[in-house]
Every structure is written in C-alpha cells, then in structure tokens.
Structure 1
Amino acid sequence: MIKPLSPSACRFLPAGDYDLAMTLNCGQAFRWRQGADGRWEGVVAGRWVQLSKVGKCIEAKTATPQRNWDWLDGYLQTGVDLDSILRTFPKDSPMQQAVKACRGLRLLRQEPWECLASFILSATKQIVQIQQIIECICARWGQKVEVPPGHKPAYSFPTPEVLAGCTEADLRECKMGFRAKHLHKTALMVVNGQLDLAGVNRVPLEEARALLQTAPGVGPKIADCVLLFAYGFAQAFPVDVWVQRALCELYFQGRKIPKSKLRLFAFEHFGPNAGYAQQYLFHYMRMAKKRLGEIDVRSQNVVRQRVKTGN
C-alpha cells in the first residue's frame, strides 16, 4: 500500500524550460508581485503562494500545509511540453525572433471568473493601473487568506455573488470608471445564470467567443484573452491595437488590415497553437517597446547634458 504524502507548505515543481518571471509578468495575469528577494507572491485558488525558480524547478511555498498541489500544477501548466508547442509555430523571421527572445514563456490556466473580470477591468488601462484596481477590489470584497506570520494581508478574488451585491458607486471607488457598470452587470449575469462560465469550454471556439461576448464590455479581444488564459482554447488569438500594428508591419508591409481579417490570418498562419504564438509576439513587442523607451530616455539625457555643458 502506498503511503499518502504528508501535507507540506513547500514543494518543488519540475519546470526545466520555464521562465517564471516572464510568465507571471507578461500581461496574462495581474495579481503577481515580485519582492526585493526576487520571489513572486500571489493568490491562486484562494491560497497565498510564493514562487521562485531554483535550478530546473519552481519552488512553491504556501502559508498552510498542502496535501494536494494539483491546483498549482494546473495553474502554472508545468506539465505542458513546450517544445512540441514551439515546433508548431511558423518558421518566419518575426516569429522565430520572438521565440528566441521569449523562450520559456508559458500560458497559465486561470480561474474563469477572475480572468473574465480582470480583463473587463483591463479595457484601455495599462498593466500597473489594472493591478491597482484589482488589488483594491480584492482588499475590499475578497476573503482574507492565510499568510505567513507578520506578512501583510492577502485576499482572494471577490466572487460574482459579492460583486453583484455591490453598487456601481461602490465599485467606482476603486477607480475603475465606466468599467464598474460592465463588471457589475457581468457579475449579475453570472449569478442569475444568464452567463454560464462552466459551459464555455463545452462548445467550439466561435460559439464560446460569442457566449462570452454577451457580457457587457466584452468584445472579441477580451473574449479571446479569457478563452486562451482561462479555458485553454489554443487557437484563440487576442488582437489589440499593439498586436494589430505589429502584424500589419511584420506580415502586411505596413498596410492597415481589419482585426477580423487578422484573426483569420492568425488562425491560418500560426497553426494549432496560434494563441501561444500571440503571447510570444505580444511580449516580444512589449520588450522591444521598453528597450526603445530606454534608448530614447538615454538619448534625451545625453542631449540635456550637452546643452548644460555647452558641448
């Protein structure tokens, strides 16, 4: 008889080809923070968890002993064969440059309600702003979760039932603006059974996208984010203004192509894991934009110094 594992508050997850920092900070999830010691902290499935990369493993720590760690394995998708996914990507130069720069980036598998609500709040917001809004609603309407002694409080993501019981004015206090109306109405739809989140992954991609788009504030881009990051629809290809611009420049000689046609192009060009390819391209573009911004700042500083010294 196999003796069951004893509960433990620490576990090492095999994760050789896994870039933890890139995965947690690439814009697919918004509740992770990196501490001064380099470790990442977040809340997954109602549990505070701290993650760090140690060799070819991810070290995971929780505040309370865990007998079963499937909740974290599923979230991090550590068992996915990344090589087999990357082999399905097209061999064109832009895609291969993105793979080279972002090797080890993984897609998470998030809880559907939290993912949907988070991306409703993401509309026309920068990542830092999204994080601040989500931190506010969790602190106000989430449940306290166990944390290590002396650690600052941490909270679960509020349920649709709790948010449906709020007023729009309450929600606006977290500086979400017009998104308060969308979030509140979506929470009501989930609670009333008008939007069955459990049934989304039982239907084909197009039908699943249409189902999510019945929620206020959810267009094709947000729907595809949720399908990709919460349900594992590998061919969902979110197209925002940055992805649209990049695809037009890289694949259409700068011609402006409608987002609907770009989604069709992505479906045909990037293959069965188009959504994975999108995340590589998206993060690669974010990295390039950041580098260009740093170069521009350095150039401006050089000019200011020359003006100051008269050289």
Structure 2
Amino acid sequence: MVFSKSLTAEEFNPEIIMNSGQVFRMKKETAGADGMPDTYSACSGDNDVYFYLNKEKDTWDFACEESQWDFWCRYFDFDTDYTSYNNIIRKSDDKFLKDSLKDAFGMRILRQDLWEVFISYVISQNNNIPKIKKSIQILCDRYSDGIHFPKADVLAFIPEAELMDGTALGYRADYIKGISERVAAGMLDIEAISKLPYADAMEALLKIKGVGPKVANCIMLYGFHFMESYPIDTWMKKIISEDYKDYNTKDAYLDYINSEYPGFQGYVQQLQFYHKRKG
C-alpha cells in the first residue's frame, strides 16, 4: 500500500538522514533516470519500506504494508516539528551550527527498532561506518533472511568463534552473544529500559557489558529517542577542539549545548557531525 505525505525539503531529506551516521540500513535503491524519481528503502526490525518523491503530487510516497505505516511514521518521527528547532538555530550566534544546518537541511532523528539499534551500536564501537554496515549485513545474511536483523534468540545460540569468523566483529562478538543470551533468557528487557527516565535509563545501559558512554548515548538517542542525548565520538571531539576551542573543557562546551538547545541536543549533534564529515 502507498501512503503519501507532504514534506518540504527542510522537513525531510533521506540523503542527509542515511549519511548522518545514525542509521545503517537505509539506502538508495535506484537513482532516478528519464524523469523517474530516486527510490530509497529502509528496514528496521520486521518492517520494510520503499519511498520516493512523487513530483506530480509534490509528496513523498511510502510503500509498505498497511499494518506497518504507524511504525514508519514513528520511525521517521513525523510528529516532531524540526523546523521549530531550525528556527532557534537560525537565531543563534553559533556560526558553525548555522553552517551545519545549511549543509544538513532535512535531517531528522529516527526512532529505530530497539533490538536492532542496540546491537548495531555495540558493533559501532571503535569502528567505521562501512565496516559496521558490512558486519550487520553479514549477520542478516547468515542468521536471518538477508533482509531483517536476526533476533536475540538466534544470536544467543551462535558460538562466539562462529560469530567472529568473517564478520569483522572481533571482540564485539563476545558482547553481542552475552547481550543476546540475557535478552533471550528474559534477564534483560531493552524496551523496559527505554521507558525509564533519562538518568535511570543511562545508568541501566552502562551496567551492560559492552556498553560504554558513547554507545549508551547512541542507543538513548537513535533508539530510545532521548533528544537530550549528545553522543561524543572522535568526530565530535574534533569539533569541540577545533570549532569550539573557546570552551576550555568538554564540560564547558556541553554546558553551552545544554543551556542553548534544551530538548534537541541530539539533533544539534547530528547536524554538526554531518557537516564536519562532509567538510
């Protein structure tokens, strides 16, 4: 079934979103030719969607199962007004952030499947995006149908040596197996953690073997949708040291972000991250 949604370029740009580092399973399927639109796809959990800009109707058209449409509306966070965030940024004196906004017009923070995003960001630690995508695809090919992410009760019973073989997971295989075993046994409830208050959810994540502060912040932002989360990786450290060097410490810089952009710090981070990597 096809669902249409009117979205401006400021409200939605899949090229920006899928290259922002927050998602590993959104891609361009076909590049438009002879007047045909570019077609994109996304897969999250058990849900699949294809979407493209319908130039005749000036809408974005999403093709998915009728029962999945609510999931995709939530996934793309269509209920949130990102233009209101942009208006605050435009009025700021932060040149780097305003340049980032111009570069990353159409960014949104996705609400991804909790299990998939959890394991994806365990894989992401000390890793780069092409290798992360490759490892995730190998897991899907080996232990699912090649499209959907394998479930915890499957990964829990894969020998660690097999998980490491040819997947480029390395030491992360131990973390993935351990987390999968706990989820499959009912000892770890990721959905329950996602419903806790921010501080409690962060504390619970940091108690899990394989989850450090950066991974926890990514899960909090891209899975649990705590928009106040502000993941700091090597790119963000570079931004703080090079583009915000007037702030003497990371804590002073974060005080600035938290005071000026409360409630959408994670969106600010994504704009900055995209701009710096592109730059």
| Interval containing the TM-score (normalised by the shorter chain) | 0.7 to 0.9
Shift of 1:230: 0.9
Larger RCO, structures 1/2 (Cα 8 Å, 6+ apart): 2
Shift of 1:68: 5.4
**For the residues of structure 2 that align with 1:39 and 1:30, how far apart are their CA atoms?**
17
Distance 1:92 1:40, change over 3 A: same
Check conservation: 1:120, 1:183, Cα contact below 8 A: yes
SS at match of 1:69: helix
Amino acid at match of 2:187: Q
1:243 aligns with 2:233: no
1:33 aligns with 2:31: no
SS at match of 1:53: strand
Q: Which of 91-100 and 231-240 deviates more?
A: 91-100
Amino acid at match of 2:53: K
1:195 aligns with 2:197: no
Shift of 1:164: 0.8
1:223 aligns with 2:223: no
What residue is the counterpart of 1:14 in the other structure? Answer: 6
What residue is the counterpart of 1:308 in the other structure? Answer: none
Q: TM-score, normalising length from structure 2?
A: 0.87
Check conservation: 1:88, 1:271, Cα contact below 8 A: no
What residue is the counterpart of 1:178 in the other structure? Answer: 171
What residue is the counterpart of 1:156 in the other structure? Answer: 148
Check conservation: 1:20, 1:52, Cα contact below 8 A: no
In the TM superposition, what are the counterparts of 1:111-190 in structure 2 within 5 Å?
111-142=113-144, 144=145, 154-173=146-165, 174-190=167-183
Shift of 1:171: 0.9
What residue is the counterpart of 2:267 in the other structure? Answer: 276
Runs of 4 or more consecutive aligned structure 1 residues displaced over 6 Å after TM superposition: none
Query: Structure 2: 5+ residue runs without aligned partners?
Result: 32-37
Shift of 1:193: 3.4
Residue deviations 1:31-80 (CA, integer Å, cap 9, x gap): 12223423222323413322223345322224xx5255111111111232
Check conservation: 2:131, 2:168, Cα contact below 8 A: no
Structure of greater Rg:
1
Shift of 1:205: 1.6
Amino acid at match of 1:113: W
1:71 aligns with 2:62: no
Shift of 1:202: 2.8
**For the residues of structure 2 that align with 1:115 and 1:68, how far apart are their CA atoms?**
18
Distance 1:254 1:264, change over 3 A: closer
What residue is the counterpart of 2:226 in the other structure? Answer: 233
Percent identity among equivalent residues? Answer: 24
**For the residues of structure 2 that align with 1:262 and 1:123, how far apart are their CA atoms?**
23
What residue is the counterpart of 2:84 in the other structure? Answer: 84
Shift of 1:254: 8.2
SS at match of 2:263: helix
Structural RMSD (CA): 2.0
Shift of 1:115: 0.5
Distance 1:68 1:239, change over 3 A: closer
SS at match of 2:106: coil
Check conservation: 2:247, 2:253, Cα contact below 8 A: no
SS at match of 2:243: helix
Shift of 1:249: 1.9
Query: Structure 1: 5+ residue runs without aligned partners?
Result: 1-7, 145-153, 289-311
**For the residues of structure 1 that align with 2:102 and 2:173, how far apart are their CA atoms?**
40
1:286 aligns with 2:277: yes
What residue is the counterpart of 1:267 in the other structure? Answer: 258
Check conservation: 1:44, 1:72, Cα contact below 8 A: no
Shift of 1:286: 1.1
Q: Which of 206-215 and 117-126 deviates more?
A: 206-215
What residue is the counterpart of 1:303 in the other structure? Answer: none
Check conservation: 1:239, 1:263, Cα contact below 8 A: no
